[in-house]
A and B are shown apart, each in its own frame.
Chain A
């Protein structure tokens, strides 16, 4: 019997009164407002799947558990609510790990449920046993081993809450089969509460807020560094008001993309290893930096010794452990980004006197423009041009997901992001293969009038392209654009720059025809080889209702600039290969 007819026949009375641990788990998800979960079936998790049979929860079977975790992650980014993924014990659980590590690095709310062998087998190296708690410890915000059927529902509710509250992150509940099969006599959903000792800071210390405001008002060269925390803390409006009223230029981190509209004259786009020259100049020469919701990752800072070496730093973060971890903060403002930005706004008596600085920044924007020139290179369309055209062909609420590599950096530089939660990428972990499953997860969280575009690399696409089967099966309207440079271009670029052009294992002697792969899956494939076809193929693919894949053949010699060599000084970014040699 198919699931849907069965679910329709059941009435809800049974649901509100779970009889097993597994039913309590499912009821807890339903009560938390979960609509869709991503996963793969298997022995130890079968009791939970059996409970799903009677549930209205939508379950999306993924091709691989890594895909389930990335889909849940993207769902978490786009919706702000924990994305849920589910897997069996052993290999199911270990396959989730990459996705959880990714979510952990990028502070994305994800709840993972894993099956486990029955409690009395734990520790015996039973079939498909794995110490999931041990393995997931370093890559989750919190994890729990369920021990009782009667309370397993509450444990899932708590894990869901913890994923979402405070600094967001992935949580996991490991579910031994006897616990999910076990009877529940009297369990009812209770809204979860944080444990008493867990305090989530709200507003920051008023005195520090005041002195930070004074520092900003006195600044001659102020800059705002907006991180992912601005988006996760729903503080984009506060940021916009603050930056525009006090005329302070805004640089973002990569996860912070979309926190401030990039078409605004105060926007300097992202800084860091492949950030814009003007953003890196602004960070290098500012005298006061207001950093919000960022952990000063090394891809952003470059060498710590040369990072904003003349700046006093005001750091707002909900996680006190991020403040002065990598870069010392002169003003520590622990709290929720929206609340603290409002606090700061209230005590800002005047705007900084920064005319000269704003002029300087205008000059830098011209001097270090990311204008790429030709549309074509060696007879092939250039990736920068393709991305610009994609951006033009779509509305500003379009969601972009990416793999990891050069294509990701072009997607960051040459698309103009105007809205929060439209940039969905793998930053801290840098996981190739993120793009397609993320597009699937994003599709489920997006509204109907939003397009979802995955800008992928050929190498990244090859890591998770089996998820195309999910997109076709579920009739998902997504467009994948593979910037196909027949190789793992980012590695090739590093080899050319730092390893004397010794291209070990970075050039593919052969790549499949991705447009034919798409056709074989039942998606719509396009082969893009000529610059004249860019606009029309993009239009056709975007308009196609369902999954489409453009195999865009680009010049393998194309490099990403600007580039700060790792550990280098942000202000000394290279714009050409000659610059790299000079450094």
Chain B
């Protein structure tokens, strides 16, 4: 071990005035004593992007790089063949939600991006494949009853399975999957949410 280096002169840290005030992890000044923790919420974004190769990689790369919590991401063509629409649902606090928007807007292939209103029209499609051996006292009849009651469609009955189609908001689908949980669910495929603003409001 070498000799101690000399360092500089001046009052030691404990001899200096030091403020008691604090900021929260988002850098917002908070009242002393409060945790200043921000609550997460779900936000739906619609982004109009150039219809070109690599766009999805850029968007998904951004989300993993910046550790944004993403619930779903869908992409598909729009009314204009040169652009595609990406719909994103994120679970973030307000600071994070604003960052998502600003960071998306910075990507060159992103033409425009907007957080949609709470009353926007939102839909997701889900396929659920259920095993057709009803050993826990359930029967195909019971399944059909439930299907009819909930107004969902059976798309296929074969090889000992029943595949149903469920549509609705993300919450509707979560609920519905739970409802069918009493049967043995083998596979689930969900599209993720797509959304448009209502009426004359422009989506993006």
Binding site for B on A (CB under 8 A): 133-134, 137-138, 142, 145, 162, 195, 197-198, 277, 281, 284-285, 296, 304-307, 309-310, 319-321, 324-328, 367-374, 377-378, 501, 555-559, 561-562, 569, 571-579, 582-583
B127 to chain A, nearest CB (A): 31
Contact (Cβ within 8 A) A367 B10: yes
Residues of A within 8 A of B103 (CB): 321
Q: Mark B6-23, 1 if CB is under 8 A from A, else 0.
A: 111111111011111111
* CB of B189 closer than 8 Å to a CB of A: no
15 additional A-B pairs beyond A138-B61, A372-B6, A575-B10, beta carbons within 8 Å, are A296-B27, A307-B23, A310-B21, A321-B103, A321-B106, A324-B27, A326-B27, A374-B6, A561-B8, A571-B16, A572-B18, A573-B13, A575-B9, A575-B12, A576-B6
Contact (Cβ within 8 A) A277 B10: yes
CA A197 to CA B111, docked complex, whole Å = 6
19 pairs of residues in contact across A and B, judged by CB atoms under 8 Å: A195-B108, A281-B16, A285-B19, A304-B25, A306-B23, A310-B21, A324-B26, A328-B23, A369-B9, A372-B6, A377-B5, A378-B3, A559-B5, A561-B8, A572-B16, A575-B8, A575-B10, A578-B7, A583-B13
Residues of A within 8 A of B17 (CB): 285
Name which of A305, A319, A378, A556 has the most chain B CB atoms within 10 A of its CB: A305
Nearest B residue (CB) for A138: B65
CA A370 to CA B10, docked complex, whole Å = 9
Knowing A138-B61, A370-B8, A559-B5, the reply to whether A327 touches B23 (Cβ < 8 A) is yes
Residues of A within 8 A of B102 (CB): 320-321
B173 to chain A, nearest CB (A): 32
Contact of B108 among A133, A162, A373, A571 (CB under 8 A): A162
What size tier do the contact residues of chain B reach? 35 or more
Nearest A residue (CB) for B4: A577
CA A195 to CA B82, docked complex, whole Å = 14
Contact (Cβ within 8 A) A579 B23: no
Contact (Cβ within 8 A) B99 A325: yes
Chain A's interface: helix, strand, loop or mixed, by majority? Answer: loop
Name which of B20, B27, B29 has the most chain A CB atoms within 10 A of its CB: B27
Knowing A306-B22, A501-B1, the reply to whether A576 touches B7 (Cβ < 8 A) is yes
Nearest A residue (CB) for B36: A305
B50 to chain A, nearest CB (A): 9
Residues of B within 8 A of A578 (CB): 7, 12
Nearest B residue (CB) for A327: B27
Contact (Cβ within 8 A) B22 A305: yes
A386 to chain B, nearest CB (A): 16
Name which of B24, B103, B106 has the most chain A CB atoms within 10 A of its CB: B106
The 4 closest A-B pairs by CB, nearest first: A576-B7, A557-B2, A327-B27, A321-B102
Residues of B within 8 A of A558 (CB): 5
B47 to chain A, nearest CB (A): 11
Contact (Cβ within 8 A) A562 B95: no
* CB of B28 closer than 8 Å to a CB of A: yes
Residues of A within 8 A of B21 (CB): 309-310
* CB of B53 closer than 8 Å to a CB of A: yes
Nearest B residue (CB) for A360: B17
CA A145 to CA B53, docked complex, whole Å = 9
A302 to chain B, nearest CB (A): 11
Contact (Cβ within 8 A) B99 A321: yes
CA A578 to CA B53, docked complex, whole Å = 57
Contact of A572 among B10, B13, B95 (CB under 8 A): B13
Nearest B residue (CB) for A368: B10
Contact (Cβ within 8 A) B14 A582: yes
* CB of B33 closer than 8 Å to a CB of A: no
Knowing A321-B99, A374-B6, the reply to whether A309 touches B19 (Cβ < 8 A) is yes
